[in-house]
Amino acid sequence: MSSDELIISVDSLGKKYDIYAQPVDRLKQMILPRLGRAVGRHDLRYHKEFWALRNVSFSVRRGETVGIIGRNGSGKSTLLQMICGTLHPTEGEVKTFGRIAALLELGAGFNPEFTGEENVYLSGLLYGIPEVELRKRFDSILAFADIGDFIKQPVKTYSSGMYVRLAFSIAAHVDADTLVIDEALSVGDIRFTQKCMRYLREFQKRGTLLFVSHDTGAVTNLCDRAVWLDRGEMVMDGITRDVVESYLAAQHAADRASIGQSISVEKPRATSARAAESADAAPAPLAMPATDAHPDDVMDGRLAELHGRGARNIVEFFEFDPDQVGSSFGAGAAEIVDVKLAGATGESAQIVLGGELVELSIDARIREPIEGPIFGFYVKDRLGQRLFGDNTFVSYVDKPLMPGAGARVRASFHFRMPILPTGEYSIDVALASGTQIDHTHQHWIHDALSFRASESTMRYGLVGIPMLSIDLRQVEV
Ligand SMILES: Nc1ncnc2c1ncn2[C@@H]1O[C@H](COP(=O)(O)OP(=O)(O)OP(=O)(O)O)[C@@H](O)[C@H]1O
């Protein structure tokens, strides 16, 4: 919910760095111009000026979520650091209102020699949280970070994932009006990222968010507005979809310009998914399935062709482990005890390709009798965006199961595995009682199964649908 209240105002902001070709030039620059001025020489300069950011102006209102996009080196971190007050502008002005908590790239914030615990208190002080208040929140900070005894170790011994866990947890506990997140969520395991994304989606309801990411899908999904920076200048500020589309079009044009326009029809055999991308662009005919095949037997014919060229889809599943799942909640009349993904013939699937039939099964132990349990699932991407999901309600509305206490119930969903872009994914599973509209969650497990698409032939979109057939022909007019 954005309001008219101004939270960040950036006016003609600029940051200049002096670049020295060699260290001795820095010394010369300190001494010689002063001497030169004494003899009337005002032109002695031993460095080049480089503007990391220049002439950037925009404002953010309370409740907005604004994405900052741009290629490497376009000035995103420079901008955020000036907004957070950790970097001084060369020109222009930043005004901020309320408390800003920042999760900037690794390296910002903590004292590496101090333990995690000491850094919690240090950060709390920096955010102006009284120590007594921080003590009250400490257990919750520790629980969110979930780094166990490492909280007693100096943060210099932390992995980058642990570092982000603690930094995010602190940022989430300082009653910030504005959260600034800079690529930090690309570090760490998917379950923690999912937890952060759940937090951010809740935070969006009351707070202001600045979100920097190379992942334009994530920006589109999360942000109302986006600001596009290029070589330190603001190219566009507007509705996220418009900005992202223009940005991607410019990226595409720049990529084409750099690789040249010529596409050889006689391509070498591809050896990776990346190579398959160039195969995608080829006008070569693709083998399609026989049209009279039973729909269940039909795979996307292009997959065989792409596999033949060495390009593959590989999705690797990690088994259900109750100790490794994300958080869970529910009224408790039933407990989900097992979740499996299997191939169409029932064998447990650890690697799937996309396009084939699979079975997702969810087993629950019933603790108290439930009239018509509803089982459901969601497949989510790394940022918690729900890609697809389903439940048993409609199929069983006229013949509800009535399991008694102690029964074990299994729901099985058979579907064709979509083709997914490379990335990490997870599946939430849930069991509810009631109806589709009015129900009580008895047990919901976030991230019960996780999986990784390590190779993919897919380039665009969130989910690829296996094509049953594609026909291209010239028609009479
Ligand atoms: N201390 C510095 N001295 C000189 N140049 C710097 C300094 N810090 C940043 N730069 C330059 O300023 C430009 C903008 O850097 P910045 O880190 O803000 O870009 P970015 O968009 O965040 O990039 P990335 O996406 O790679 O993190 C880059 O060309 C960078 O090399």
Cβ atoms 116, 153 nearer than 8 A:
yes
Nearest C-alpha to atom 24 of ligand 1 is from which residue?
A: 72
pLDDT at 285: 28
pLDDT at 472: 86
* Distance between CA atoms of residues 217 and 67, nearest Å: 11
Tell whether ligand 1 has an atom less than 6 A from the beta carbon of residue 73. Answer: yes
Cβ atoms 111, 155 nearer than 8 A:
yes
pLDDT at 344: 65
Question: Is the dihedral angle over the CA atoms 176, 80, 65, 422 positive or is it negative?
Answer: negative
pLDDT at 404: 93
Cβ neighbour number for residue 260 with a 10 Å cutoff: 7
Residue 430 corresponds to which tokens in the numbers above? Answer: 């849930």
Tell whether ligand 1 has an atom less than 6 A from the beta carbon of residue 17. Answer: yes
Atom of ligand 1 nearest to the CA of 19: 4
* Distance between CA atoms of residues 83 and 182, nearest Å: 12
The full set of domains in the chain, from first to last, is: 6-252 (3.40.50.300), 314-455 (2.70.50.60)
3-class DSSP state of 162: helix
- Size of the chain in residues: 477
Report angle CA 38, 43, 49 to the nearest 5 degrees: 130
pLDDT at 413: 94
Q: How far is the CA of 53 from the centre of ligand 1 (A)?
A: 9
Cβ atoms 75, 252 nearer than 8 A:
no
Atom of ligand 1 nearest to the CA of 70: 21
Among 79, 104, 8, smallest CA distance to 229 is for: 79
User: Which of 72, 213, 235 has most ligand 1 atoms within 8 Å of its beta carbon, as the pocket-test mutant?
Assistant: 72
Cβ atoms 446, 339 nearer than 8 A:
no
Q: For residue range 394-412, list pLDDT tens digits in order.
A: 999 889 899 999 999 999 9
Atom of ligand 1 nearest to the CA of 81: 18
Q: How far is the CA of 475 from the centre of ligand 1 (A)?
A: 54
Answer left, alpha or beta for residue 98, where phi above 0 means left and psi between -120 and 50 means alpha: left
H helix or E strand, kind and range, residue 241: helix 240-259
Cβ neighbour number for residue 61 with a 10 Å cutoff: 16
Cβ atoms 191, 161 nearer than 8 A:
no
pLDDT at 239: 92
pTM tops 0.95, yes or no: no
Q: How far is the CA of 97 from the centre of ligand 1 (A)?
A: 26
pLDDT at 418: 87
Q: Which amino acid is at 287?
A: A
pLDDT at 304: 62
Residue 402 corresponds to which tokens in the numbers above? Answer: 């009535």
Q: How far is the CA of 456 from the centre of ligand 1 (A)?
A: 31
Burial of residue 450, with CB atoms counted within 10 A of its CB: 0-12 exposed, 13-18 middle, 19 or more buried: buried
pLDDT at 292: 39
Residue 231 Cα distances to 48, 67, 325, angstroms: 16, 17, 42
Atom of ligand 1 nearest to the CA of 15: 12
Q: How far is the CA of 82 from the centre of ligand 1 (A)?
A: 13
Q: How far is the CA of 213 from the centre of ligand 1 (A)?
A: 15
Tell whether ligand 1 has an atom less than 6 A from the beta carbon of residue 75. Answer: yes
Tell whether ligand 1 has an atom less than 6 A from the beta carbon of residue 52. Answer: yes
* Distance between CA atoms of residues 388 and 380, nearest Å: 7
Pairing of strands 386-391, 225-230: unpaired
Which residues make Cβ contacts (< 8 Å) with residue 95, sequence separation at least 6?
6, 8, 9, 11
User: Which of 13, 16, 17 has most ligand 1 atoms within 8 Å of its beta carbon, as the pocket-test mutant?
Assistant: 17
DSSP result, 29-71: HHHHHHHHHHTT------SEEEEEEEEEEEEEETT-EEEEE-S
Cβ neighbour number for residue 389 with a 10 Å cutoff: 15
Cα-flanking dihedrals φ and ψ of residue 109, to 5°?
A: 105, -65
Atom of ligand 1 nearest to the CA of 78: 18
Burial of residue 175, with CB atoms counted within 10 A of its CB: 0-12 exposed, 13-18 middle, 19 or more buried: middle
Which residues make Cβ contacts (< 8 Å) with residue 126, sequence separation at least 6?
none
pLDDT at 336: 95
Find the helix packing angle between 116-126 and 131-145, rounded to 10°: 130
In the predicted model, residues of the chain with pLDDT beneath 70 are 1-3, 29, 36, 39, 42-46, 105-108, 184, 186-188, 258-315, 344-350, 459
Q: Provide the CA 107 distance to its chain's centre, in angstroms.
A: 20
